[in-house]
Amino acid sequence: MSTDFDRLDTAVQAIERRGPETLAVAVHGPGERGYGHHEHTELPLASAGKLALLAELGRTIEQGERAETTPVPIEPEDHCGGTGLLQHLAADTYSLGDLALFTAAVSDNIATNALLRVLGIEAVNRTADRLGLTATRLLDRIRDVRGPGTAPTFALGTAADLALLAARVAENGFPGAARLLRWMRTNTDHDLVPALLPHDPYQERPFPGIIWIANKTGTDDGVRADVGVMHSANRIAYAVLAVGEPGTEPGLVAAARQTGLAIARHAAGWVG
C-alpha cells in the first residue's frame, strides 16, 4: 500500500477534535515524503526529550570520546522519584552503557540525571543543534518539585524535530545512531502509539502482519509523547505529542493510541 497522507490528516484532525488541547504529529515516510500537523508548535516533551541525551551519549561512545564501560557513581543530586528502577536498587555505581539502558528501557530518572551530570546539558543541546533539532532543547535535570528559580519543565521541542531525529536514527544518519536505535528498541512502554497495533516487542525484525517498533515515550502532567520508528510495508519515523490540562491524561493516552493506529494504516502501510 502506498502512503496516503491525506487520509492520515483527516484521521488526525478528527482525533484532535475529540481529545487533546494540542495534538502535534510529524511523520517521515519513504523517500522525501512527510506529514505534519502542528508539527512546529513548541511543547513540553516530558521524557521524550531524553532521546537528545541518548543521542549525545551514543555520539561520544561511537567517536571514542567515552567508553560504554566507564563507571559512573550515583550522586545525591541525581536522586529523583518517578519512573525508573535505580531508586529501588542497592548498587551505587553503574556503567555509562547501563545508565543508557535504564534511561531507554524504563525512562529511569536517576539514570537520566547521572548522564546529564556527566555529559552536560550544553553538550546535549549542541548535538541537538548539529542534528537539525533547532527548536528542541533540554532545560534542566529531572526534579521532583519545580518552583521559583528552576526551569518550568525538563525539555521543550517540536514534533517536527523529534520525527527528524527518529528518521536520522532509522537511516543510521549520524555517529551513534545505530546504538541509539538499539537502546530505543529496549523500551518497555508500549502504552501509547504501539498500544493498538499488532506488534511483538520481542520480534527482532519486520515480519508480515507484525509491526516492528523502536520508540521512546514521555509522560508528565498534561503530556503524553511518543517518538520512534515503525516498520511494516513501509518504514516511517514518527513523533506524536498530545498535550492538555492536567487531569486530561486518559484522553491524551486515547489520542496517542488512535494516532498510532492512523499512522500505521496510512503511513506505515498496514491495513487493519
Residue whose C-alpha cell is 501509547: 192
* Residue bearing the bigger pLDDT, 120 or 83: 120
CA 261 to chain CA centroid, nearest Å: 17
In the predicted structure, residue 1 carries a pLDDT above the cut 70: no
* Torsion-angle region of 3 (φ positive above 0: left; ψ -120 to 50: alpha; else: beta): beta
Q: C-alpha distances in angstroms, 61 versus 54, 100, 180, 185?
A: 11, 11, 11, 18
Q: How far apart are CA 202 and CA 12, in angstroms?
A: 29
Q: Determine the 3-state secondary structure of 11 from DSSP.
A: helix
Q: Where are the alpha helices (DSSP H) in 136-232?
A: 159-170, 177-185
| 154 within domain boundaries | yes
| 180 within domain boundaries | yes
In the predicted structure, residue 2 carries a pLDDT above the cut 70: no
Taking every pair of Cα atoms in the chain, the longest distance, rounded to a whole number of angstroms, is 53
Closest residue by Cα to residue 224 from 20, 16, 2: 20
Residue whose C-alpha cell is 515480519: 207
Q: What is the pLDDT of residues 222-255, one digit of tens each?
A: 999 999 999 988 899 999 999 999 999 999 999 9
Per-residue pLDDT averaged across 160-168, rounded? 98
Q: How far apart are CA 159 and CA 167, in angstroms?
A: 12
What backbone torsions phi and psi does residue 34 show, to the nearest 5 degrees?
-150, 165
| 272 within domain boundaries | no
The answer to whether the pTM exceeds 0.75 is yes
Q: What does R_g of the chain's alpha carbons equal in angstroms?
A: 18
Per-residue pLDDT averaged across 42-70, rounded? 98
In the predicted structure, residue 207 carries a pLDDT above the cut 80: no
**Can you give the CATH number for the domain in which 163 is found?**
3.40.710.10
Q: Apex CA 199: angle with CA 177 and CA 222, to 5°?
A: 75
In the predicted structure, residue 272 carries a pLDDT above the cut 80: no
Domain count, the chain: 1
Range of the domain at 26: 5-266
Residue 82: count other Cβ atoms within 10 Å of its Cβ.
16
